[in-house]
Chain A
Amino acid sequence: MDLYRVDYTLLGMVSPNCMKVLPISQNDEAEKKPQKIIVGDQEGIVQMFQIKKGKINMLFKTLPVEQITEVCLGGALGTVQDKIFLSMGTIVRGYTKKGRMFLSFDTGLSEPIKCMYVTGNELLVSGRHIFNHFNDCKDSNTYLCPELINSIITLDVVKMQGVMPILACADLCLRILESSSVKETFYLSSEPICLHLMKNNGGSYGNEVLVGLRNGHVVLLKIEKNSSVNILWELKTQSKQGTITCIDCYEFNGEDHLLIGRQSGSVEVYSLESHCVPIEKYKYSCSESITSIQGGAIRNFGLPEIVVTSFTGWLFGLTFVDQHIDKDIIMESSNIILNDEKQKVLDIRTEVSDLERQVAIERNKYLEFTQKSSRPSVLPYLTIKKTMFLDADNLIYHLIIELEATIDNVLLQCNSSINFIDEENNNTAVVSKSKCKEEDDNKLLITYRCQLNTTKLELKMWSHEGDHGILTAYITPLLQPKSCQVCKFPIKPLLFHQRTNKNITYQPQSYLTISGGFSLSEAHLWLSNCLPGIPEKPGSQENVEYLFESIITDMILLCSYSRGSINIKTDNITAISILKDNFSREATRKNIKLDMVYEISESSLMLMINAIILKLKIDIKNDKQLKLISAIKQLSVNPNTNGESITKEYLELISKEDELKRQESLKPSRMQRLQAIMLALFDDWHKLRGLNMKPNSREDLQEALQTNNTLDSLSSMFEL
């Protein structure tokens, strides 16, 4: 069902989870006042307001200090949780709902606070890697996480009889801490982005936690006192619905509901139970990513509403029109403008015309400046949210660029070749590919001319493994004076590998060992230049190990390194070749002498060939069938007119068309990519083995890769 949107205001830029709805106090309940909203924005302004007759009624507002990164509500356990805590820089501040600051506490963290969680007198904060737990503002536990921390939370302190911090980490796992060390590491199918307690309190035992994942799934976990973790359910949605950015639980009409906000701009309301997978009830989509979501009666007392903030700072409410009295108001408002609203419009109008005047004055000043002065002009930077992440289900990368102002156009340039998948639904921008001149060292030049009011550009892309490049985006907002900002994305050579934590007993048969006079951090840098998902700093000081899995061929790649040595173990011969080339290039640049030892075994080759063929066969079959279908459909024998003249087999085929097409679009160009991988394998095998190819064998292989019949005899084309 649809939700009905009401725009309240346009705030400045607000970081994720920096808008909260205050719980109903007893006073308010007596006076039947709607709930209050608290927002901390990126300039450092904290403001609390109430919606009165559709207008913002400011209750308090502080002066700007520093970017607020998280807002939490707390209070003594067992009382109304209406104390406001916010983090800025390394400082945590506390405000009462009257706007009085009662706490300003410097955590002394060596990085700015990224995540914060408050319950009772426990304060949990984390930067990118450091986690700290304070009890009554006294430092009690610290933990240095080797991976990036995305979110932190603790289970119900009372019910669990103690603090049990949970860290959502970038290496696809949750780390459950006990005092200052990891007690349990629990791996998930995708990167956890946000954590939220089930029904806001952790469920009846206080030990259930909701996890929102990068691939758009939501998982409900039950964590026992001994840190053992069970998955109660996993809500699986199509990956195109987008990463989860915020979660809240909200009870209305006597039922619990799960509120989800996504990066794609979609807001979903699900029914919520511990023992069964949620069912979608309402849905709304906006064009920007959602930054925070809350439930509350903020407009009228007792009228449930979903309060949402989006990337550029819109604060809007979503109501369930169908069920509530609002219906009448809405019907009216299309014809008669309500008086309150009229006043609101007038107010904003005056504000806008004041601004227009001011802008005109400043514009002239600037124009004068450009006429005379030769002093440099530097324009203020706009906030850009850029994400590039791997979608393992569809074997592609998502590139999302979101800007605080409307985008006029985006120019993408890359020195390695990338294929973009043009999809209608994601954006309406007009694409234009430009020819690349050889001498300019470009492989890709694309411009996207955005339609009016676009603040987000979502793209999908893939490339062949092996190329090392940098994708540069020049983003020009629709603002005077015109300027553009540059974003760079590394295209790593083994970009279709993903960190994994599978327990493998199997040992790959081929290896590459490198030794030389390089430091641990150099080895770390070299590896992270080739493989995605490696944290900024090496996990430990001695021997570091990472395990990767190729999402296309499913081959395992094991790398371990320490000072002066790197060990790679894999059956993926191409990966060995790519890593070898990259390492030697990096070493040469730094003038480090390397000793390289490698062994590639025949069994690795066979494993690779079989893995590729297995998938290639499916794709070739699908491709052939689709071609056949389109040919059959051209015949004047139509299944509906005279079906008897066409065999049953073909009729079935035609009825399968949509399914086949869907499968093909799910893994775009996989057939071509597998064929390219096989050819690369062929080249690398001969190169690394120092063998000469049979004349014309590469052409023969290329030919053989086109049809299923010839695939089985493929291995004979390799020189052994």
Chain B
Amino acid sequence: MTRSGDRAALNGWQVIGRIEDIPPGRTRSTRLLGQDIIARRDPGGTVSVTEADNGNRSLPVQERYGHVWTSLGTPERDLLDMPEFAEEGRRLITCGGITVRTSPLRIVENFLDLAHFPYVHTDILGAEPQTGVEDYKVEVRQPEDEIWATECRFFQPQAAKSASGGQISDYMYRVTSPFVTILYKTCPIRDGMWDLIGLFVQPMDEEICDVHSFVLVFDEANSDEAMLHFQQMIFLQDRSILENQLPARLPLNPRDECAITADRTSLVYRRWLRDKGLSFGAIP
């Protein structure tokens, strides 16, 4: 497979690893949108990224939110804004990349889904018989061109590492690019605050990606390691589903799969992708 010609994908900022995945004096070879790339950090700490078969063109780079970002094209917009990263008292845990053999778009869609909690994350994020998905709001916000789903509520037996006993969790979902999505979730220990969980999906080829995730939370009780293990457990449950969806690529035509009211965020996401002309990892 060769480099994608998908302008909507090429001109975005994409994640290629955590900051600590590329230490000073080291290089990291990876793949982005069908193109092999090499990232190097010089001894002074500056990262440069080039295509593996063309060392002369330096790609744009920035380090933000614990990760390294680049673009094969010309970014038309800045990286998403997450002011919570500057708030006092939050802890950031970056989970590292996990390779999943499916379309990067299937990863994002699964992340936006409430109804799978009782079946994929049984007795943790959901459980029968509390399976109903209440109505929620979903919109594409302008001018930022982001999808927001708000007023999402779901009963959860163990909503987070810091949760004790079941609770009704309030969620907001945000999609800022085809491959970046953030979840805002009721903080179990601070009233009125949101915990953040995010996925930065690195699209390698159309049916394989690395999923880089982070947690940005208020939590005074659990170690980084315990929170990392909780996130990995949840994500590996998702991976067993994601690698068994047929076809691997996300169908954008609403008639290709059966949808229900609870799937409105997914329907908006698929339409938003189609309106952008995004085709990488999709079936138009």
* Genuine A/B complex: no
Residues of A participating in the B interface, judged by any CB pair closer than 8 Å: none
